[in-house]
């Protein structure tokens, strides 16, 4: 979870309070879990220690809520590097669905019913995401996030189809 770099990104347009950082994050990713305040301030102090952000204004009361943070030159450079680096594809991470399908093969349970239920579940989720996109005003970053989820759900379903075909084939050749 690249929270540190995200916070740098949220400060890109100018210095802000910790509260504004949290609000910005939640606006960017409306479907994800909201960012906790504690996490925001911990991240900000870590970044300050690493010299990637600096305190721009202490605030009259002196508490952390009133402190205004801004990016340092180093912080900007770090952010640029992070944005330029491509994501390494996750290897070896075995999803819940894979576990279920493998278990289905070994226990000899009916895979067709599972496929039907899983398809219904995934397709409904895609519909919900689509409905959310049409409800809100066109906020492209939010939309992109939803599209990402939808496309991955599609990929799950396609994998599932292929997996079940393989199982059927295997059963038939063994018979």
Partner 1 sequence: MTDLALELLRVEYAYRRDVALRGVSLKVRPGEVVAITGPSGCGKSTLLHCAAGILRPQAGTVQLAGQNLADLSEAVRTRLRRTQAGVVLQFGQLVPDLTLIDNVALPLLLEGHDRAGARRAAMEWLDRVGVGEDATAVPGELSGGQNQRAAVARALVTGPAIVFADEPTGSLDSLAGEQMMELLLASVHNGGAALVLVTHDNLVAAYADREVRLRDGAVQHEVALS
- Residues lying near partner 1 in the complex (CB under 8 A) are found at 112-113, 115-117, 119-120, 122-124, 126-127, 130, 150-151, 153-154, 157-158, 161, 165
Is the Cβ of residue 2 or residue 113 nearer to partner 1 in the bound state? Answer: 113
Nearer to partner 1, 22 or 146 (CB): 146
Q: How far is the CB of 142 from partner 1 (least distance, A)?
A: 16
- Our measurement of the distance from residue 55's CA atom to the centroid of its chain's CA atoms, rounded to an integer in Å, reads 29
CB 26, min distance to partner 1, A:
26
In the complex, least distance from residue 109 CB atom to partner 1, rounded to whole angstroms: 15
For partner 1, the closer of residues 58 and 166 by Cβ is 166
Q: Nearer Cβ to partner 1, position 58 or 158?
A: 158
């Amino acid at each position: 979870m690249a929270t540190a770099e995200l916070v740098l990104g949220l400060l890109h347009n100018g210095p802000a309070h910790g509260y504004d950082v949290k609000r910005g994050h939640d606006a960017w990713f409306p479907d994800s879990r909201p960012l906790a305040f504690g996490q925001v301030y911990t991240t900000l102090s870590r970044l300050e220690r690493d010299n990637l952000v600096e305190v721009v204004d202490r605030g009259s009361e002196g508490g952390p809520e009133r402190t205004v943070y801004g990016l340092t030159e180093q912080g900007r450079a770090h952010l640029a590097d992070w944005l330029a680096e491509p994501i390494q594809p996750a290897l070896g991470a075995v999803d819940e669905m894979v576990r279920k399908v493998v278990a289905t093969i070994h226990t000899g349970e009916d895979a067709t019913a599972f496929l039907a239920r899983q398809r219904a579940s995934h397709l409904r989720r895609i519909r919900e995401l689509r409905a959310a996109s049409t409800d809100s005003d066109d906020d492209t970053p939010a939309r992109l996030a939803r599209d990402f989820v939808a496309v991955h759900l599609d990929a799950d379903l396609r994998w599932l189809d292929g997996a079940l075909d393989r199982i059927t084939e295997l059963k038939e050749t063994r018979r």
